[in-house]
Amino acid sequence: MNVIFTIINIFGLVTIGFSGLMATCWLTSAIADDGATTAFYDGTLITLLLGALMFIPTLRIPKKVSRQTGFLMVAITWSVTPVFCTIPLMSYLPELSFIDAYFETVSGLTTTGATIFSGIDHLPMSINLWRHELNWIAGMGIIIFAVAILPILGIGGMQLYIAESPGTVKESDLPPRIAQTAKALWLVYAGITLACILALRLAGMEWFDAICHAFAAMSLGGFSTHDLNVGFFNSLSIEMVLTVFQLLAAINFATHFVALRKLSFNPYIDDREARAFLILVLGSCLVTAAVLWHAGTYSDYLTALRHATFNLVTIATDCGFATQDFNQWPIFVPMWMLFLSCISASSGSTGGGIRMIRTIILMKQARLELFKFIHPFAVRSMKIGDTMVNNKIIASVTGFIFLYFISIVILVFMLLLSGMDFISAFSAIIACFNNAGPGLNQVGPATNYSSLSDIQTGVCIFAMLLGRVQIFSIVILFVPEFWRK
């Protein structure tokens, strides 16, 4: 019984927090007089009351936090919180179905950036701010998930960063307590976001657009205030600013913290994961630009490089902005972009997918197996830099990647069974599972996810949630042995 009270208490506190977030949009709506004030008033009041009804009665009841409680709390937080977040949307747009509203809020809170909305330019300012606040707060939530929630699940936050970034971030470089670490990383996240806002304003965006797009860029959320997305601005300087900050957001925030504390670029140079990420992504920009130029998609290489760089970086980092309809490009380019979305983002970043460190470990393990095949009696361990990678981490990575690919296969077949064509189904699942946003064909950058049936929308919602919590946190709930411990 104490487990149930613990979950109710924690979730009540989370709900109260979201009511405060909703209140900022209520204030914005009142100031802008954009017609959505009542929607946010209702949302704030309902969310606050429900949160208080959960939190206050369970405040003094002894709490019991176990690994089972932790996993269940993660699943509930990521799946139930979006229900409360739909209240302003459904209040302002009564014709909006619950499944579509839930899709939009899940997309925001998982930083996927896929949308069912058309006419985004004409939405009230407060509604657009709400969508982007969901992106930004979720980016902070991902950091909290890494350094505060995971200790409950049996892996300390510090250990996570060190285990996923061997040889990159030393424990001594970070504050000694989890709460201090979370606060430090939040400050870095907020500080870089502020820098992004100012840079976008200087590049020519209005303040509101700059705030919203900075929120989306730093969380790698991909929402925009315009139907044409970043293509609305048709500005090279804006694209360059967003490209830089998306790359920053896809690098481990612990690396940013150490670099800022030491006022040195050496942490970035020493970060093998960041190096591999930047070399792969920036190298891909050069190659895909050549492909587009050679295919005649653009008349000169520099134009091809501009559009290839922005759109490839935004998909590879799992952000999901767009300036071009890359669905019309030679098929190699968008498929390569979707492949990069699976592997590129660093651990400890706001990106999704497998993460670059797991890719590095898997490649090194494959090379090690080939070596053992040639030299069966040799003894060799895996190293990343000077750090030994123990077998427990290797086994965890192997298990994760198997679950990753088998989940994608199952979800793609579910969409195929619903009647969707293969390219649309495959790209939709890859984009949703990696929290990358737009796919191809039916869900391409020139369209959105509004044409999906309720069943197809539900499958994509599950893909977003499963990808955001890194599979294990959901799958483990369905293992009977887990509950018998």
In a 3-state reduction of DSSP, which class is residue 430? Answer: helix
pLDDT digits (tens, 9 = 90+) for 222-267: 999 999 999 999 999 999 999 999 999 999 888 898 898 888 899 8
Q: Does the pLDDT of residue 429 top 80, yes or no? A: yes
Q: How confident is the model at residue 152 (pLDDT cuts 50, 70, 90)?
A: very low
Selected residue with higher pLDDT from 417 and 14: 417
Per-residue exposure over 358-396, b if at least 16 CB sit within 10 Å of its own CB, e if not: bbbbbeebeeeeeeeeeeeeeeeebebeeeebeeebbeb
Q: How confident is the model at residue 65 (pLDDT cuts 50, 70, 90)?
A: low
- Rounded distance between C-alpha atoms, residue 215 and residue 234, angstroms: 20
Mean pLDDT over 304-320 rounds to 97
Tokens of 452: 């999906």
Q: How confident is the model at residue 200 (pLDDT cuts 50, 70, 90)?
A: very high
pLDDT digits (tens, 9 = 90+) for 166-185: 334 444 455 555 567 777 88
- Rounded distance between C-alpha atoms, residue 250 and residue 355, angstroms: 10
- Rounded distance between C-alpha atoms, residue 143 and residue 71, angstroms: 16
Helix axes 454-468, 67-92, angle to 10 degrees: 140
pLDDT of residue 393: 80
The H-assigned helical ranges of 110-177 are 125-144, 157-164
pTM of the model: 0.91
Residue 229 DSSP symbol: G
Selected residue with higher pLDDT from 396 and 149: 396
Q: Are 355 and 251 in contact (CB under 8 A)?
A: no
Average pLDDT, the chain: 88
Q: Does the pLDDT of residue 423 top 90, yes or no? A: yes
pLDDT digits (tens, 9 = 90+) for 455-469: 999 999 999 999 988
pLDDT of residue 159: 39
The residue assigned the tokens 């969380």 is 219
